[in-house]
Amino acid sequence: MSDEKSFTPDAATTLEISPTEVAAWIHLPHDQRPMLIDCREADELAICQIHGNEWIPLGDFPSTGPELCGDATRGVVVYCHHGMRSLRAAMILRSRGIENAFSMAGGIDAWSRSIDPAVPRY
């Protein structure tokens, strides 16, 4: 049995994770929590982002996403504006062997509405 705490849901039952679940671990050091990836475009990233993220635009996922995720043993959570592009990104990662990849449901818009209203909505 592993001593490491799992912050992600069961990958066999869902492809999504809630903003509330992400908020529970987002302030932990990078090496102790799942990787958080923003898959939006640069112009969207300039408007707002969630502190502690990595940036890999969705268009880069088919060719470089899995390599850029490095050690994904603690999980990978991808977010976008509303959760549709991040679902695609998580499916791409899973198809490339990263089984514990998830999309944050509702994207950064849901994050702004339910977790951090200081994050601008657009």
Angle at alpha carbon of residue 28, lines to 118 and 59, rounded to 5°: 70
- Which of the four pLDDT bands, split at 50, 70 and 90, describes residue 62? confident
* pLDDT > 90: percent of the chain: 77
Burial class (CB in 10 A: 0-12, 13-18, 19+), 93: buried
* CA-to-CA dists, residue 34 to 37, 64, 72, 94, 120, angstroms: 10, 19, 7, 15, 24
Counted domains in the chain? 1
Q: Does residue 10 sit within a domain?
A: no
pLDDT digits (tens, 9 = 90+) for 87-103: 999 999 998 888 999 99
> Domain with 89 in it: what CATH number?
3.40.250.10
Give yes or no for a contact between 110 and 104, defined as CB atoms under 8 angstroms apart. yes
- Which of the four pLDDT bands, split at 50, 70 and 90, describes residue 66? low
Q: Does residue 1 sit within a domain?
A: no
Task: Give the single-character DSSP code of 74.
Answer: T
pLDDT digits (tens, 9 = 90+) for 42-58: 999 999 999 999 999 99
pTM exceeding the 0.85 threshold for the entire prediction: yes
Give yes or no for a contact between 94 and 16, defined as CB atoms under 8 angstroms apart. no
Q: Does residue 4 sit within a domain?
A: no
Give yes or no for a contact between 103 and 110, defined as CB atoms under 8 angstroms apart. no
